Structure formats: structure tokens, C-alpha cells
A and B are shown apart, each in its own frame.
Chain A
Amino acid sequence: MDMNAKKKLGLKEKYALMTRNLGWETTYEPMDKVFPQMDYEGIRIHDWDKWEDPFRLTMDAYWKYQAEKEKKLYAIIDAYAQNNGHLNVTDARYINALKIFLSAVPSLEYNAHRGFARLGREMRGVGPQVACQMQAIDEIRHAQTQIHSLSNYNKFYNGFHDWKHMNDRVWYLSVPKSFFEDACTCGPFEFIIAIGFSFEYVLTNLVFMPFISGAAYNGDLGAMTFGFSAQSDEARHMTLGLEVIKFMLEQDPANLPIIQRWIDKWTWRGVRLLTIVAMLMDYMLPKRVMSWKEAWEVYFEENGMALFNDLARYGIKVPDCAALIKKEKDHISHQAWNAFYTAGMITNFHTWLPSEDEMNWLSSKYPDSFDKYYRPRFEYYRQREKEGKRFYNKTLPMLCQVCQIPMLFTEGDDPTLISYRQIEHKGDKYHFCSDHCQHIFEHEPEKYVEAWLPAHQIYQGNCFAEGADPTAPGFDPLKSVLDYWHLDFGRDNLDFEGSEDQKNFAAWRQQATTN
């Protein structure tokens, strides 16, 4: 890198010139009409010049460093692909984690791009406008680099072939999809709390640090490079999220209750969304860096709580859901894997039972829950497998109206009892996984009655293959739904053991190490 250019202006001056001095008060149209989305959420901003820019990255520096990151990233991805790096992953089971990642995450990044592009236009202050525009470009970069990096796996393994189509349709993918769409349909200030603060600041470290470090540990340079490269942008995004929240709180005391509600709601939605990351870490990384619970303690309980302590002086309280979250950390990864293992007929990836060694690792990491509640279940399933009666759930799960996760969570104080809430709204029944999701619904029923719940849609007959006739004799509804999702029964789903992926990986690895 050529770093010898002499600076004429200091960082603060350059950044002030680019932001404050590029803005102007409009005269042909009143400012309120130029920025019409700034009022309706009830947030009061009196002086946009009080905005403090955390990172002072000017456009020339932004392009320079982003270009540098991209060059590094593509050099690694190319080398990884060129040398058949996929054969160096610890165990072909790992590749199934990437199938989940590809069908869930790039679409989130793309929606983040759309959301921040919108905010770049709608924010009235020039500082946040510039930061949101840069973030919009970052987010589309993340989508692109993830797709490019993972496309290499599509050449060799099943299930990667139609991730965007699946993202819009496959049952469990409505969880991440609805999270971001529910955020994108908020006003601009709520969107930035949902994504910039709750998601980026409080939660993305859990995806892109322990999980991606785990990917590296399992030999996946492709995922390592896009993961860390993305999170380096997130570091900027997190500081933006934090700045926005402090700015709003400092502008007017009336903003506090509105912001508190958004923090409570989006912290909970984000925590629910991360259930799948918990499962990836505890069940899908053959070599493990740390357990989900350990990662949670470092990145949420330590760092997240430090953040809430910092915000306490503005009157912000730790979200109510924190008490339940603390109880759930011993359980959610196991409950999620149990749900996916039993739903293995309708997944776009393979499932398996943890080996004896892996179960021992889980026992050591979860001494208060694994042996008592989850090991017996997996041993029972293993017994059934041995008898040739591998258990598959043949019905579709009830989904929570808000987070859209199947009812797989248990009561905070009783891990043997499914947590289940039900209310009536305008003559219809709605179901929730928790008090927190129920409260979100009760505050905004008009929004959440619109939820597109895959299980409901399937039962209503809206998810069969094009041209299918459900009244025809011998009609197979499961097969038709898989066709609608573009999933190939027996190839993309079911057990890892005996799968084409398993056989190919073993054969290719054998070829790579012998003559």
C-alpha cells in the first residue's frame, strides 16, 4: 500500500468539510418536505449539527481501504477455489452450515443495503446521510462477497443451487427474511435502531467472530475471508448505530420511551434470530472454538451489558427479555438441532446425530442441561436409527406469529414444557413462542397479522409446485412442496450419512491424497 501521501488537512477538518459543508438548507422547497419521513415516528431532533461522527472516513479513504479489502478477499477466495480448498475442511458435515448461511444471510445483507440506501436519502443530517450511504455500499458488498465465495461450493455439493428462491419460500428461512423485512417496513429511526444498534452492535459479533473463527478452524478460508472482511465494515456500522442512539437520546427527553421500546423489541427479535447461529456453533462445526453459551457470555453478557451500562445515564434500561435470555442460553442450540434433525425431510441441508465424542463435549460445555434433557433424546433417536426407524416429523410445526420460529422453545423455568402463548385479535387466534413476541404483536397487531407464515401457507395449499393438482389421485403433498422450494428429495435433504455429498467428499479427498 502506498501510504506516503502527505496530508494537507487533519482528519477532523477533512471530514467536516465533506459532511457539514456539503449540506445546505433548501430554499425552493421547505426542508420538512424534502425530508418527509423524519417526524412520523415521534422522534424529535432539534439540531443535526450536534451529530458527532465516530469514524471519520472520507470518500477517498473509504474507496482506498475498501478496494484494499476486496483485493485481499478475492485473492484468498481465488486461491482457495483454485487449490480445491473445499477438500481441506475438517469434515464434509461442516459444508451444511454453509448451505444455511448462503440461503439465509446474503438476502439479509441485501435488505440491509436497501434499508441504508433509503436512510441515506431520508436522514436530514449530512453526517448520518454520509454514514448511511457508505453502509449501504458495504452491505451490498457483503451480499456479493458471500455469494461469490460460496458459489465455489455449488460446483461440488448439493443444496446450494437456488438460495434466493429458497430464501423466499423455505419454511425456516422466513425467520431471517421476516426479521429484515419487518425492519425495512419501519420508519427510518426505528430501522436504524433495529439494524444499526440491536442487530449490528449487540448481535453481529456473535455471527462474525466466534462462528467465523470456527470456520477458519475447520479449514474454510472462503468463509473466513468474507466473514472477517464483512465484520470490519460492521465495526463502522456498530459505531454508527451507537452514535444514532446517543444522538437521539441527547436531542430530546421525549425520545427515551420510544427508543426503549425499539431496543426491547429488536434485541428480542435479534436474539430469536440468533438461535440458528447457536445451533451452527454447537452442532455444525466439527472442530469447535467455543460453545454458543461461552460466546454468548463474552459478546452479549459482557460487551452487550457494558453497552447498556453506558446508556444507563440516558435512562435506558436493560431490555426485560434479558432475564429469559439468560435462562435460555443453556437450551436453545440443543432445541434447535432437535427441531432440524426431526424436520430433516424438509431442510435444504443434511442433518445427523452428534457422535459420542461430540455429546461428551456438549455435556462438558452444558453441565446443567445437556445430559439431563438432550442427551437422552439423541440416544433415543440413535436407537431408532439402529432399528431402521429414523424419526422424521411428518407434520408441520406451529409457528410464532412474530419471530416465525416453530414452537420449539421451552418455559424459562421448565425445560420440559413448550412455551406457548395464544391470544385472540379481531376474531382470529394468534400464537407466540414467548411473552416477548406476544407483546410485540399486541403493540402492532396491524403489522404482524400480515405475516406470511410458511406452515400456514402450505396447509392452505399455496405452496405446491406450479401446475400441481392436489385433488389428483396419488398426489404427494410433501413432494410437491419440495418441488415448489426447488429441493431434490433424497439429494438435498435427509441424513448426511449415506448422502451424495458424503460419498463425493470422501472420494475426492481420497483422490487428492493418493495417486
Chain B
Amino acid sequence: MSNVFIALQANEDSRPIVDAILADNPGAVLNEQPAMVKIDVPGRMTIRRSSVEARIGREFDLQEMQVNLISLSGHVDETDEEFTLSCER
């Protein structure tokens, strides 16, 4: 199965998002590069609003991620609760 990935700027805003991704996606691999982090997951990656909120202690809109997003791969599906990347839609 191919990987999907997301890359975020390496900063404080991204940290809880990265933690949430690593906790919610078994098989996720964290790759830290200068000024950025890239997370690869085989097949499918889900980012859950509730998981991020549990880490930051406030309401979170998944679209806030746009501010620190660098890039991604795969097919995107976006709802209020989850942001999903998958190899096949």
C-alpha cells in the first residue's frame, strides 16, 4: 500500500496536531526536517478535531491547520470532525 503524507511547519501551533496524528494513526512515521515535519502513514490518515482539542484545551477548527500546513498527498475528505487523506477515494 502506498503512503499518504502531511507536512506542517515545525512550530508550537503544529505540535498538538502532530501529536494527535501520531496517536490516532497506527503506523504513522514522523520525519523531522529543518523547519518542517512530515508524517507518512500507509494508506490512510485521519486528523480528528476532538484529538487536537483534547491536547490544546480549547475548541479547534480543523481548517486552522491551513495556516501551518505545508503540503500533503492523497485524496482529501474534509468534514467538521475529521480531515482524512487516503490513497483511494
Q: Which residues of A contact B (CB under 8 A)?
A: 1, 3-4, 7, 10-12, 52, 54-57, 61, 65, 68-69, 72, 205, 208-210, 212-214, 216-217, 224, 228, 231-232, 234-235, 238-239, 242, 246, 289, 302-303, 305-307, 309-310, 313
Chain A interface mostly: helix
Q: Which residue of B lies closest to A217 (CB)?
A: B34
Q: Which residues of B contact A307 (CB under 8 A)?
A: 73
Q: Is the CB of A61 within 8 A of B71?
A: no
Q: List 8 contacting pairs A-B, 8 Å CB cutoff, sorted by A.
A: A11-B78, A57-B63, A209-B71, A214-B34, A232-B67, A238-B71, A306-B3, A310-B88
Given known A3-B58, A11-B78, A238-B72, contact A306–B2 (CB-CB < 8 A): yes
Q: Which residues of A contact B76 (CB under 8 A)?
A: 54-55, 239
Q: Which residues of A contact B75 (CB under 8 A)?
A: 54, 239, 242, 310
**Chain B 1-25, CB within 8 Å of chain A: the 1/0 string?**
0111101010000000000000000
Q: Which residues of B contact A (CB under 8 A)?
A: 2-5, 7, 9, 33-36, 38, 58-61, 63-64, 66-80, 87-89
What separation, in Å, do the CA atoms of A407 and B63 have in the docked complex?
46
What separation, in Å, do the CA atoms of A210 and B60 have in the docked complex?
29
Task: Give the residue of B66, B80, B87 whose beta carbon is less than 8 angstroms from that of A11.
Answer: B80
Q: Is the CB of B73 within 8 A of A303?
A: yes
Q: Which residues of A contact B63 (CB under 8 A)?
A: 57, 61, 65
Q: Is the CB of B64 within 8 A of A228?
A: no
What separation, in Å, do the CA atoms of A10 and B2 have in the docked complex?
31
Q: Is the CB of B67 within 8 A of A55?
A: no
Q: Which residues of A contact B79 (CB under 8 A)?
A: 10-12
Q: Is the CB of A228 within 8 A of B35?
A: yes
What separation, in Å, do the CA atoms of A186 and B57 have in the docked complex?
50
Cβ of B5 to closest chain A Cβ, rounded Å: 7
Q: Which residues of B contact A65 (CB under 8 A)?
A: 63-64, 66-67
Q: Which residues of A contact B61 (CB under 8 A)?
A: 3
Given known A10-B80, A213-B36, contact A4–B70 (CB-CB < 8 A): no
Task: Give the residue of A7, A54, A309 whose beta carbon is less than 8 angstroms from that of B80.
Answer: A7
